[in-house]
Chain A
């Protein structure tokens, strides 16, 4: 099977890249070893968040947030996106000080999308929050989407523009021969001018085939979803200094994340939960929102996600090969960036450059360091 561009990995980054490339006329094949959105892109918490981003990510994240607002219309497919704002709660004065320092730093960079809110405003937006909480920070454009729907929306739009999605096909071998990339899949051989590595928790293996070594690790962030409960929180909720993250969907169910990690068994393509850590997450949720004491968990699960040592993704060209590009290692906050990353990758592939500064995301940023 031949194509201009071979994308490895059918998560949101791979599908968004496929969409932007196909839309501009490139012939694209996406190889996915399981099925679309099987891992981090399908089982994440769906947060679409600009709030609290690392400075290096803010420009990309801001651009992506603009794209989310009209994404369902642009793709002709519902992504489940709801703009509900997001609030990170400050538990005490130390948290408020952290927020003030960050605000000063943001202002130096010219960013104004984060707004510190008082105790009163916090309670106005979240009447059920523990009254001991002293304030917080909010970003109005933020919200949530339904992970599987959003990833699938990119996939369907890409297919409409002629991209081919091949599921159940794992890349066993990848070589640069002359001007071509040759990939041996489980059942089929593929040939392309360009390869894009969007392989998530498996991206270090693909990077190695391309010729780039990268210190990627993987983990299994855990999630819980409750049975329907009375609506008590419209915004997406996080905390400044604690592992708290949840959102209540329109149907009344509440998805609780927070970053507690289970056991990632990458070799066997599966995860296992750590219930004592989930118990901690439950305690934290109840502490911040006493009303949640009475909520009932219906399902718990974990997804496999890739992490870089600095929790920043790898986005950019390969350093040890030509016509190869990477987009992976989003460290549990890549879902929101999917739309813009797709565009960046398409720009890199088609024009050799992006309008964004990508230095912080170079794949070789650890080459000079001793880990």
Chain B
């Protein structure tokens, strides 16, 4: 289980991860927020749809790609949280159809 060693009084922001409202420390990486809140599945593999999660946490494995504010392919280990951010597990396989036209 992941644990935070931070001072609990540090400043926090709220964001949403997979529909769940979550409190995170200002400046925290999106990946660390997911890990600490038992939301460690970052994406589904494009062919097999197997669950994947962060492997390197330093930007070289591209396993932690999530969707942030509607933009897929965002590396959760490199992105920092911000107030009101919406994070979801990336689920784009070769079969995925785009939802209805956004405009």
Interface residues of A (CB under 8 A from B): 123, 127-128, 130-131, 227-232, 250-252, 290-291, 294, 296
Contacts and interface: CB of A to CB of B under 8 A. Distances in A.
B94 A228 contact: yes
A229 B72 contact: yes
A130 B103 contact: yes
Interface of B: 46, 70-73, 92-94, 96-103
B103 A131 contact: yes
Nearest to A249: B94
A130 B101 CA distance: 9
Nearest to A253: B94
A128 B92 contact: no
A296 B99 CA distance: 18
Given A228-B94, A229-B92, A252-B94, A294 B100 contact: no
A127 B100 CA distance: 8
B94 A290 contact: no
A300 to B, nearest CB: 16
B72 A231 contact: no
Contact of B92 (A127, A131, A230): A230
5 contacts: A127-B100, A230-B92, A232-B97, A251-B94, A291-B98
Given A229-B92, A252-B92, A294 B98 contact: no
B70 A294 contact: yes
Q: Which secondary structure dominates chain B's binding surface?
A: loop
Given A128-B101, A228-B96, 7 more contacts: A127-B100, A228-B94, A230-B99, A231-B96, A252-B46, A252-B93, A294-B72
Given A252-B92, A291-B102, A294-B70, A228 B97 contact: no
Contacts of B102: 128, 290-291
Contacts of B92: 228-230, 252
B97 A231 contact: yes
Given A250-B94, A252-B94, A294-B72, A228 B101 contact: no
A131 B102 CA distance: 11
Contacts of B99: 230
B72 A296 contact: yes
A346 B70 CA distance: 54
B101 to A, nearest CB: 5
A296 B96 contact: no
A248 to B, nearest CB: 10
A123 B103 CA distance: 12
Between A131, A228, A291, the greatest number of chain B beta carbons within 10 A of the residue's beta carbon is seen for A228
A94 to B, nearest CB: 22
A126 B14 CA distance: 38
Contacts of A250: 94
Nearest to B62: A227
A251 B47 CA distance: 9
A130 B70 CA distance: 18
Given A128-B102, A252-B92, A291-B102, A230 B73 contact: no
B97 A230 contact: yes
List the 6 shortest-distance A-B pairs measured between CB atoms, nearest first.
Answer: A232-B98, A230-B98, A296-B73, A230-B96, A127-B101, A128-B101
A290 B103 contact: yes
Nearest to B69: A294
Contacts of B101: 123, 127-128, 291
A231 B96 CA distance: 6
Contact of B73 (A227, A290, A291): A227
A232 B100 CA distance: 9
A131 B101 CA distance: 10
Contacts of A296: 72-73
Nearest to A128: B101
B89 to A, nearest CB: 15
Contacts of A228: 46, 92-94, 96
Contacts of A232: 97-98
Contacts of B94: 228, 250-252
Contact of B98 (A123, A128, A131, A251): A128
A112 B73 CA distance: 43
A130 B94 CA distance: 24
A80 B72 CA distance: 28
Contacts of B103: 128, 130-131, 290
